[in-house]
Amino acid sequence: MALRLAWVGTYVQTQHDDHDDVEGRGPIDIVHDQQLLVGEVRAFAAVGLTRRFSASLMVPVRVVDTSIRYLDRAGAEVMLARPDLHHRNEVVSGIADPMLLGSASLTAGAWRVTARAGITIPIGRTEENPFALGDLGLRHQHIQLGTGTVNPVVAAEAARAWGMWRFGTYALSQQVVYDNAKGYRAGDRYAAGVALQRRLGAAWSVRGGIDALGESPERWGGAVPTDDGNRGRFDLIFGAGATWAASRRVGIDLAVKVPAITHAVGGQLAIPAIVEVGASWSFGGKRAAAGHHHDDDHDDDHDHGHGHDRVVEHVDAAGLDVADVGRPGEAVELVPVPGKLTIFDFWAAWCEPCKKLEPALVELARAHPQLVAIRRIDAADWDSAAVAQHLTPKGFGLPHVKVFDGRGVLVLERSSDASGLDKLIADIRALVPAK
């Protein structure tokens, strides 16, 4: 199981035109000049259901601190006859719509592919139609904390690691398919991006990437608003971040994203930067802390960890020379046992052929307890330091073995799929010295 807590924040300035009654001047053309400090705390939990399937829940709590000025066409600040009608200097806060997702992952060669599907849960507060209330001269609110509807979400991710590098890409879509009870239909949301990550030793990694984000117009009673609200937008954002693995179960993450292209229909929207600070914990198995996420103000914190079930049940090897080497994912030195055939078994909890190879190796050690030693190395994930050091430089996969004779000389190194395990086991057995 993995838990993650993140804070995402940004500053937004937006303007739109209006015609309103100004003190001492009557009805004139004005500009609403609004500044918003937007912060969101996201609590994320994921649990492995099987070695391939997992479920996750993200609960956001949003805080919007807004201030407003009204300007005439010359840029001078004016006072409205009804100053609190449209906007106010206020703080709006509450739980936004949680997202519940199920995921399925598979490994295809060096690629790790994950598909996700789920729904948003409509518990975030929604307001009455602000445009209808405005037309009646009544106080209204444009900031929505939720959508008021159950919205389907689909996403896909793919990642590939080589050496100390990792490349990842993702796409996500949240569709709003009906109006809520107040006649509001939020805009559909889209996100896609790529990221390149570089591991710096065992504890640090850095990354950079590009995200493309889009949102279709909101609708009230089937109509798109013409003077305020979301009328469609697109953002192209460049980002950079760093992750520190404080321990094998705890990761700390910092990311900064800067919009390169922003297009908002009907208004001028300026977002100088998006900042995220996060921490993640994993427990219930041997999984090392994950640290690669593509979080931003749009994508609802879909997790890019692999979601593997890390609860491991090894074959009983009591009394045999069988031991685990290093922490999960750690790059370790391979030290053969003098005088014994030493088999270094690289495995991962999500690797199905690994589960078939281990019993055969343990049986070999049981048959030759004075001659055979087994050292297990948990590769954890394709972007781990263990994989970067021992597998990806030569294009090896999992399961993988390195076999040293009693003098410490490498006599066999090979990866295998399920169809080649019998041949691999036979070749290892042939290396056992005669008694």
- pLDDT, one tens digit per residue, over 241-269 is 999 877 767 889 999 999 999 887 765 56
23: number of CA atoms within 13 Å, CB side?
Answer: 8
3-state secondary structure of 328: coil
Identify the pLDDT of residue 22. 87
Identify the pLDDT of residue 251. 85
Nearest to 103 by CA among 162, 170, 151, 165: 170
Greater model confidence, 183 or 108: 183
Element (H, E) at 105: strand 99-108
**Which residue, chain included where needed, has tokens 């008694």?**
435
Q: What is the mean pLDDT of residues 296-325?
A: 61
* Rounded Cα–Cα distance for residues 193 and 294 (Å): 8
Q: In this structure, what DSSP letter does residue 372 have? A: E
**Residue 24 backbone zone (phi > 0: left; psi -120 to 50: alpha; other: beta):** left
Q: Which two tokens stand for residue 120?
A: 């948003």
Q: Which two tokens stand for residue 29?
A: 């053309």
Highest mean pLDDT among 154-163, 265-274, 314-323, 370-379: 370-379
* Rounded Cα–Cα distance for residues 395 and 168 (Å): 18
Contact 324, 239 (CB under 8 A): no
Q: Which two tokens stand for residue 158?
A: 């793919």
Identify the pLDDT of residue 317. 86
Q: In this structure, what DSSP letter does residue 186 have? A: P
* Rounded Cα–Cα distance for residues 345 and 149 (Å): 50
Q: What is the mean pLDDT of residues 54-79?
A: 92
**Which residue, chain included where needed, has tokens 């030569």?**
394
Q: What are phi and psi of 421, to 5 degrees?
A: -65, -40
Greater model confidence, 269 or 419: 419
Helices (H), 86-200: 130-135
Cβ within 8 Å of residue 368, ≥6 positions away: 341, 432, 435
Q: Which two tokens stand for residue 118?
A: 């789920």
Instruction: Map out the domains of the chain with their CATH numbers.
Output: 2-282 (2.40.160.40), 322-429 (3.40.30.10)
Q: Which two tokens stand for residue 279?
A: 């921490």
Q: In this structure, what DSSP letter does residue 362 have? A: H
Residues forming a β-bridge with 168: 159, 195
Identify the pLDDT of residue 250. 83
pLDDT at 15 over 80: no
